[in-house]
Amino acid sequence: MATEQLFAQAAAQWNLDQLYGDLAKAKSELMPHKRYGLTDLEKTRLRGLLLRYSPAAISDHEGIEARTVEVALSQGLYRYVEQLTGRDRNALESWRDVAHWLEAAGYRTTQVAINWDQMPDVPVLYGRQVELDQLQQWMLGTSACRFVSIIGPVGMGKTSLAITLAKAVHTQFDGVIWQSLRHRPTLDNVLGQWLNELPDDVIPHSDEWYDQLSALMVYLQQHRCLVVLDNLESILSSGSLVSEYAPDYSNYRELLKRLGEQPHQSCIVVTSRERNRELAGSRATNSPVRYLELGGLKYDDGAQLLTAERLPASGKPHWKGLINQYRGNPLMLRIVAMTIQELFDGDVDRFRRHGRTMFGDIKYLIDQQYERLSEAEQNILGQLAEKAEPMSIEDIKHPDGLAAISALLSKSLIEKSPAGFTLIPVVMEYVREQLP
């Protein structure tokens, strides 16, 4: 990772621009012979110290010797901090003093940041500017909404989009909360941690989750916060046509219902592969609860991704077919590009003539979706794969056919055209392998 991206989460907790400028002045007063301003490396190490990383931990992230970082800090940043805060030279005895002294000097923001440092690193986000602009308008526009869900199949980049969005708008909020649901934390633990890190005046009547939720709602009504819940599908049960919650996670329904239905001045962003009742939302521009279905990359953005993955430009005539074959799914395109490089010497045409669209990690991605489907959804996929051509809604036979077809469309596993419903190519190959 580039050093300018290290410890970026410090921006949610500190007034970095002002701090960079004031430390630059302190540096020029101490060392007028040096070039004005902090170097990128000094800024990176400052952010690490502000987040309570030791010099040894910072050196691990930079991939250099700890002693090198310690010497550089003692000859530079530590001295600038002493100058800025009016202390004697060499008064700073511990790296921990940096954050303490600068917080006392008023450089820490009043913004509450919970789990912000747990936000994953985002690979380069190709395209998505239209979606980012739309989401920012929904969150910050004149008819701002309080609840936004980002829905899309595995690999489509929902988490990356949510992170990019959160980093773009976080300064507009009094507090920011990032919560991954991938490892299925119970609601009791989630609310307990949040309330423990919110200001001391947020006190629930008891330790019961519903009292904790009521205390949280009061806070969200009184303060403008950004809350991101990532990977909601992790707490939904497999095999449910209507995306019910897994056992022991049903109280999340009440959390999402209240976040969506109860008036407050905060904004909630939820990512999920599946859209349940609480994520239904509306496309209306004045609705307080909205959803965005995240589709595949357009050709230009997909081509940019393939170029970054170093596919030879000689294969460009075949890129459009490749991007369409995987319906612009960014993660699948990355996996396929790597496979073409390793096994086909970068020859896209040779890969496509090989005839296999579903293999290895691509199969694993589809496994994740297929195993979660209801019996009705799997049955309809089987009918479409067996027919191998578009089928009308009247031709598809199942008691729960309408609900299952609607669910499969929302999960981007089937497509609708004037000729009828059909499977996307990679899913067609996968389902055919499941047929007896």
* 45: containing domain: 8-105
Q: Is pLDDT above 60 for 4?
A: no
Q: For the segment 330-357, what is each residue's pLDDT rounded down to a tens digit?
A: 999 999 999 999 999 999 999 988 878 8
> What token pair was written down for 190?
């989630």
How many angstroms separate the CA atoms of 382 and 375, rounded?
A: 10
Given a contact cutoff of 8 angstroms between Cβ atoms, the answer to whether 327 and 348 are in contact is no
Say whether both 121 and 249 belong to one domain.
yes
Given a contact cutoff of 8 angstroms between Cβ atoms, the answer to whether 388 and 422 are in contact is no
Say whether both 179 and 276 belong to one domain.
yes
> Angle, to 10 degrees, between the axis of helix 66-75 and the axis of helix 55-62?
120
Q: For the segment 69-109, what is each residue's pLDDT rounded down to a tens digit?
A: 999 999 999 999 999 999 999 999 999 999 889 988 989 87
Say whether both 151 and 287 belong to one domain.
yes
Whether 182 is in a domain gets the answer: yes
How many angstroms separate the CA atoms of 121 and 105, rounded?
A: 30
pLDDT recorded at residue 264: 93
Average pLDDT for the chain: 90
Say whether both 117 and 252 belong to one domain.
yes
Say whether both 263 and 326 belong to one domain.
no
322, 355, 388 — which closes off a domain? Answer: 355
Say whether both 118 and 254 belong to one domain.
yes
Q: For the segment 238-295, what is each residue's pLDDT rounded down to a tens digit?
A: 888 877 899 999 999 999 999 999 999 999 999 999 888 888 776 666 789 999 999 9
Number of domains in the chain: 4
Given a contact cutoff of 8 angstroms between Cβ atoms, the answer to whether 116 and 273 are in contact is no
How many angstroms separate the CA atoms of 402 and 385, rounded?
A: 18
105, 136, 171 — which closes off a domain? Answer: 105
Given a contact cutoff of 8 angstroms between Cβ atoms, the answer to whether 164 and 122 are in contact is yes
How many angstroms separate the CA atoms of 270 and 105, rounded?
A: 36
Whether 56 is in a domain gets the answer: yes
How many angstroms separate the CA atoms of 363 and 328, rounded?
A: 16
Given a contact cutoff of 8 angstroms between Cβ atoms, the answer to whether 161 and 128 are in contact is yes
Q: For the segment 142-170, what is each residue's pLDDT rounded down to a tens digit?
A: 777 899 999 999 999 999 999 999 988 98
65, 85, 105 — which closes off a domain? Answer: 105
> Angle, to 10 degrees, between the axis of helix 330-344 and the axis of helix 360-370?
150
Say whether both 119 and 223 belong to one domain.
yes
Whether 2 is in a domain gets the answer: no
Given a contact cutoff of 8 angstroms between Cβ atoms, the answer to whether 423 and 431 are in contact is yes
Whether 1 is in a domain gets the answer: no
- What CATH number does residue 171 fall under? 3.40.50.300
**Against a cut of 0.85, is the pTM above it?**
no
How many angstroms separate the CA atoms of 116 and 228, rounded?
A: 10
- Helix intervals (H) in 207-296: 209-222, 251-261
